[in-house]
C-alpha cells in the first residue's frame, strides 16, 4: 500500500532508561518522606526521570498543548451533539482563547498549538501555521466509504511525524495531546472495538456533549457498520487508519510514535488520543512506555484502550469536553511529582559507632540492650 515502513518504529523506539529508573527508586528510599507516603507521585516522578534519563529529575519547564483537528463524515448520521462539519467553530474559539483549554492554558502558562488536518471549511479562515499540514477537507463517512485514500493516510501520518520533530527540536519537554473534532469519538470507538475485538455497544459512549439515547443508538449502529469494514484490514495499521480513521487520527498516531522515537513524554487526553495510542502500540509495542493517561473521560472506548495498554489515568474529574482540557489538568500533578522527586531532602546517613582495637564499642558509648 505504501513505501512507508511502519516496522522501523519498532527498532527506533527504546524503552525509557531502566537504569535511571532504578537510580530514581533508590533515591526515593533515601528521602526524608517514607516510601509510599506520596502515593502515585513517587511512581510518576520515577517515570519522568526514566523518560528524561536524569536523576534527579529535571523540572518540566516547556510543556506544550498540541491539538489535531478534523471533521468526520460519519457525523452526518447524527452521532454527535454538534452538527456535522462544525469542528472549525471549535477551532476558532480555541484560537481566540475562549474554550476551556484556552482558559487553563493561560492559567498554567502553556502554549497551545492547533493543527488542522481535515476541517470541513475553507483553509484561509485560519492562520497558515494552523492549516499548513491540512490533508483534505473532511474525512469520509466510514460506514460506507474509506476515510482517506492511501496517499492521504500516509501524508497525514508523516505530517504527525514532522510535527513531533518540530516540537522536539524546539525544546518541548512534555506534550499534552488532544483532538478537536466532530464525529471523532465515533471513529475512535471503531478503532478501539476493532483492535480489542469487542462489539460496538461495548465502546459506544455519549461523546463530549452527552448525546441522547436516540443519538447513542445511531452512533452504536454507525460503529457496528464501520467495524465490518475495519476487520479485514486489521493487520495493516496505516490501511486501517485510511479505512476507518481520519486525517487527524492518522496524524496523531504518527505524532505519538515519533515522540517516542525522540523521547518526548506525552500526556494523553480522551478517547481519540487513546485510540491513536492503541494503533501506535500495534505498530511499536514499546511506545506506550512514553505515554501517560491523564484522566478518565467517561468514554467506555477510552477505558478499554487504556486497559489494553496498561495505562492508569491520573485523574477522575468527569471532564469529557475534549480539546486537551482534561489532560491539561494533569500537568500540575506531573510538575509537582518532578519537583518533589528532585527537591525533597535525604535522610542523614547513620554513622557507625567507633570501635576499640578489640572490636568492642568505646567506653561511654551506648549499646542496644535486649
Residues catalogued as catalytic: 323
Give the contacts of 129 (CB within 8 A, at least 6 positions apart).
Answer: none
Q: How far apart are CA 70 and CA 116, in angstroms?
A: 6
Q: How far apart are CA 244 and CA 254, in angstroms?
A: 16
Q: Is 310 left (phi over 0), alpha (psi -120 to 50) or beta?
A: left
For residue 143, give the C-alpha cell: 460506514
Helix axes 184-196, 247-261, angle to 10 degrees: 60
Alpha carbon 321 to chain centroid, angstroms: 15
Q: How far apart are CA 236 and CA 283, in angstroms?
A: 9
Backbone Cα Rg of the chain: 24
8 A C-beta contact, residue 215 and residue 78: yes
| Phi and psi torsions of 168, nearest 5° | -65, -40
Task: Scan for cell 501506535, then name that residue.
Answer: 280
Torsion of CA 192, 197, 199, 205, to 10 degrees: -20
CA-to-CA separations, 86 to 72, 75, 76, 125, 321, in angstroms, rounded:
10, 10, 11, 13, 15
Give the contacts of 261 (CB within 8 A, at least 6 positions apart).
Answer: 9, 12, 13, 164
Helix then strand then coil, in percent of the chain rounded to 5, is 50, 10, 40
Amino acid at each position: 500500500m505504501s513505501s512507508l515502513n511502519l516496522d522501523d518504529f519498532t527498532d527506533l523506539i527504546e524503552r525509557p532508561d531502566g537504569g535511571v529508573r532504578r537510580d530514581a527508586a533508590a533515591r526515593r528510599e533515601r528521602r526524608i518522606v517514607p516510601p509510599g507516603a506520596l502515593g502515585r507521585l513517587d511512581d510518576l516522578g520515577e517515570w519522568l526521570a526514566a523518560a528524561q534519563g536524569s536523576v534527579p529529575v529535571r523540572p518540566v519547564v516547556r510543556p506544550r498543548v498540541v491539538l489535531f483537528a478534523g471533521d468526520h463524515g460519519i457525523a452526518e448520521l447524527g452521532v454527535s451533539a454538534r452538527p456535522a462539519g462544525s469542528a472549525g467553530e471549535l477551532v476558532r474559539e480555541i484560537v481566540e482563547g475562549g474554550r476551556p483549554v484556552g482558559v487553563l492554558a493561560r492559567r498554567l502558562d502553556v502554549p497551545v498549538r492547533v493543527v488542522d488536518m481535515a476541517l470541513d471549511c475553507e483553509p484561509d479562515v485560519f492562520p497558515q501555521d494552523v492549516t499548513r499540514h491540512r490533508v483534505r477537507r473532511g474525512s469520509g463517512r466510514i460506514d460506507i466509504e474509506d476515510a482517506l485514500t492511501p496517499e492521504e493516510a500516509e501524508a497525514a501520518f508523516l505530517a504527525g511525524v514532522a510535527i513531533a520533530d518540530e516540537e522536539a527540536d524546539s525544546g518541548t519537554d512534555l506534550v499534552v495531546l488532544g483532538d478537536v473534532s466532530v464525529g471523532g469519538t465515533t471513529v475512535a470507538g471503531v478503532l478501539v472495538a476493532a483492535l480489542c475485538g469487542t462489539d460496538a455497544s461495548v465502546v459506544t459512549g455519549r461523546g463530549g456533549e452527552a448525546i441522547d439515547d436516540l443519538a447513542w443508538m445511531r452512533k452504536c449502529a454507525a460503529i457496528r457498520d464501520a467495524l465490518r469494514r475495519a476487520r479485514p484490514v486489521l493487520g495493516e495499521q496505516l490501511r486501517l487508519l485510511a479505512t476507518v480513521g481520519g486525517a487527524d487520527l492518522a496524524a496523531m498516531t504518527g505524532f505519538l510514535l515519533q515522540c517516542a522515537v525522540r523521547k518526548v513524554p506525552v500526556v494523553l487526553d480522551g478517547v481519540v488520543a487513546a485510540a491513536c495510542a492503541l494503533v501506535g502500540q500495534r505498530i511499536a509495542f514499546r511506545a506506550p512506555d512514553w505515554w501517560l493517561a491523564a484522566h478518565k473521560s467517561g468514554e467506555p472506548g477510552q477505558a478499554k484502550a487504556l486497559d489494553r495498554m496498561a495505562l492508569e489515568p491520573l485523574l477522575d474529574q468527569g471532564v469529557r469536553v475534549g480539546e486537551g482540557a482534561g489532560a491539561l489538568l494533569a500537568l500540575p500533578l506531573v510538575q509537582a511529582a518532578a519537583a518533589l522527586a528532585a527537591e525533597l531532602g535525604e535522610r542523614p546517613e547513620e554513622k557507625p559507632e567507633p570501635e576499640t582495637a578489640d572490636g568492642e564499642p568505646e567506653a561511654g558509648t551506648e549499646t542496644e540492650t535486649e
